[in-house]
Structure 1
Amino acid sequence: MEENQKFLYKYLNNPSPTGFESSGQEIWLDYIKPYVDSWFTDTYGTAVGVINPDAKFKVVIEAHADEISWFVNYITEQGYIYVKRNGGSDFTIAPSKRVNLHTRKGMVKGVFGWPAIHVRKKEGEPSPNQENTFIDVGASSREEVENMGIHVGTVITFDDELLELNDKYYCGRALDNRIGGYMIAEVARRLHEEGFRPDFGLYVVNAVQEEVGLRGAEMIAHRIRPNVALVTDVTHDTTSPGYNKIVSGDLQCGKGPVLTYGPAIQYKLQQMIIDVAQRAEVPFQRAAASRATGTDTDAFAYSSEGVASALISLPLKYMHTTVEVVHKEDVENIIRLMAEFLKEIPANHDFRYIQEAKKL
């Protein structure tokens, strides 16, 4: 297996729940360090690799590092554990799933329990929610649970790992958007191996806490104060069952990166990306956001005095489940598009819509 693929599996399989991303960030930094001049982290764990750090003009490429998860919220006298969401976790997919509880004593295995189907039919088929979804760690009392190192606030992740489908797709938990961290790291690696060094400062940013409101991006945007931000995240494949294309648009895995239009997207920057995609023959799709994009793009766009920002999304099936699916070609095409864009963007480019008239 190639080194980048080893990194992909190691990084994606490592738990990185929102607010507890540090172990994944260390894996990411270890991979990217040979391809950057310097690196730093902030108080909450956002990791940044920098090329040409002394340059005044700053360009960010960004993904977010955190995955949705759970917190222990209540432990019954009989040793059952009730949970609270950390990010957009979905109670409906939890029953019968295996989980890892992350304690200071080490990992504890557990399962989301659920009544048998014939019992549920007799009692009216309850829908999973916070009040009836529970974890069993094989304990028979609260004291036994606590002796394992589990307490209110212990963070919990699903234990599903990365696999491949039909040699065309990656499938697993937390592709949203930890595969973005892989893609931006790959951009840095390829630029390094091709001998390309930008005239501007390039900041490769793997931000924390996106799943609870773009918090890591907000913090790091104020620290870096970039001129340009190119953000990658995931978006829905709307051709899979359950989507209304009239509402959600027509997007499909395997047909290329998705470029989003909306108020937070700086359209001069967007057009530059489109021009690069067309010259490099990178297929792409288009989407529209009625207000905010709901991604870290918004945090960069509206930070400080405003940052020229754009979003390149990876089509994904089954978002916020343990079987998120993306097409390998889309992953490759986003890496290519970002790398080609960085080769073409001129340092000190003025993206303002309205510029002062030149003096005669």
Structure 2
Amino acid sequence: MSNLQLQRAKDFIKELSEGYGVSGYEFSLNHPIMQKFREYADEVHTDRFGNIYSLKKGTSGRYKMMLAAHMDEIGLMIKEIDQSGFLRFTTVGGVDPRTLVGQEVIIHGREDIIGIIGAIPPHLQTGGGEDAFKMEDLGIDVGMPLAQASGMIQIGDTVTLSRQGYELLNHHFAGKSLDDRAGVAVMAVCLEELGSLYHRHDVIAVTTAQEEVGIRGALTSAYTINPDLAVAIDVTHGSTPDTKGVVNIELGKGPAVALGPNIHPAIYKGLVEAAKEHRLPYQPEPIPGASGTDAWAIQVTQAGVPTGLVSIPLRYMHTSVETLDLQDVINCGKLLAYFIASLPDDLEGYLCY
């Protein structure tokens, strides 16, 4: 694994992490994503839903293989401007209110406006402020009176956390929205690797929209493509000292390869065999029910799609300091490329039960 490859992955993840694109408003990410994928893909285009398709042609093009990773992020939406100019908000996606107090945010109104989510300090609370705040108790302070705020901010404007991504020691990287913009970077690594490998089948890497509010982009794009097989790329919970016994996936030990009813057995087997053959680390991840990822929607599209799932171990999911190991990102992309290159000419026989 070259330092140059790690640096490129870090730069792309950092750019995407610092961008904004709450579910349904991902369009500001189109330019950097399409620009990156044009380096490796034969064709890149978007659809009316906001998904981005990057086609890497195979030597035969007999079958279509779909990759999917979502670009949207959880966020907030303005629902009220009170008489003092404070902004009341609701959530878009699974936001934990415990993570919001004291956060710097960006309101995407007529122009981007910086705000602070404030709350009553513990000095003024009965009981010393030990209880978690409720969403309705929080507000965004933009330092404006009502008249000024109303002229620049509207009900329905989206809000994202303001956070720069930064590298920690040992190739660890922290930032917001790594769920799942790190998965988008994995697809770029995969297509780059495929440039030097022989692969028979067409690969369509889809950067999906609106995963966080109901895996919608995966549903529409999979219906459009109707692929012969697919692999979704997402994140999974990485272990920390306080998750002992609950989370067993670790950072730096390779991507998690899912198995369970959402996963076609042949795809799981093929991914594991590719990892072993090319000496890439991986971690089995049993998922006995719904995976809650794009794989869940893709699997039941049209007449059904044989589907797999690989995930990047991630700490502190759905916070502004999500943390991953960049080596896992590279290994995930390489694993997918080697798996794709290993697929036989006849996928009908390969995928039959």
- In the alignment, which residue of structure 2 is the partner of 1:62? 68
Give the Å deviation of 1:74.
1.5
Unaligned runs of 5+ in 1: 355-360
Give the Å deviation of 1:120.
2.1
Task: Give the percent of matched residue pairs that are identical in Structure 1 and Structure 2.
Answer: 28
Give the Å deviation of 1:146.
1.3
Unaligned runs of 5+ in 2: none
- In the alignment, which residue of structure 2 is the partner of 1:76? 82
- In the alignment, which residue of structure 2 is the partner of 1:358? none
Does structure 1 retain, via aligned residues, the 8 Å contact 2:78–2:89? Answer: yes
Task: Say if 2:268 is the partner of 1:280.
Answer: no
Which stretch has the larger CA shift, 4-13 or 316-325? Answer: 4-13
Letter in 1 for 2:271: I
Give the Å deviation of 1:155.
0.2
Give the Å deviation of 1:271.
0.3
Q: Secondary structure of the residue that 1:210 maps to in structure 2?
A: coil
- In the alignment, which residue of structure 1 is the partner of 2:229? 228
State the alpha-carbon separation in 2 of the partners of residues 27 and 57 from structure 1. 29
Q: Secondary structure of the residue that 1:70 maps to in structure 2?
A: strand
State the alpha-carbon separation in 2 of the partners of residues 156 and 124 from structure 1. 26
Task: Say if 2:110 is the partner of 1:110.
Answer: no
Task: Say if 2:299 is the partner of 1:293.
Answer: no
Give the Å deviation of 1:39.
1.9
Which stretch has the larger CA shift, 343-352 or 82-91? Answer: 343-352
Give the Å deviation of 1:8.
3.0
Q: Secondary structure of the residue that 2:284 maps to in structure 1?
A: strand
- In the alignment, which residue of structure 1 is the partner of 2:311? 313
**1:1-360 to 2 correspondences below 5 Å:** 3-52=8-57, 55-103=61-109, 105-121=110-126, 125-141=130-146, 143-148=147-152, 150-192=153-195, 194=196, 196=197, 198-238=199-239, 240-245=240-245, 248-350=246-348, 351-354=350-353
- The TM-score normalised by the length of structure 2 is 0.93
Letter in 2 for 1:52: K
Q: Secondary structure of the residue that 1:292 maps to in structure 2?
A: coil
Q: Secondary structure of the residue that 1:189 maps to in structure 2?
A: helix
> Paired residues, what number?
346
State the alpha-carbon separation in 2 of the partners of residues 7 and 353 from structure 1. 38
Report Cα offsets for 1:145-202 as digits up to 9, x if no partner: 1112x1111000001121011142010101001011111012112322x2x3532111
Give the Å deviation of 1:318.
0.4
Give the Å deviation of 1:340.
0.9
State the alpha-carbon separation in 2 of the partners of residues 307 and 22 from structure 1. 28
State the alpha-carbon separation in 1 of the partners of residues 205 and 178 from structure 2. 18
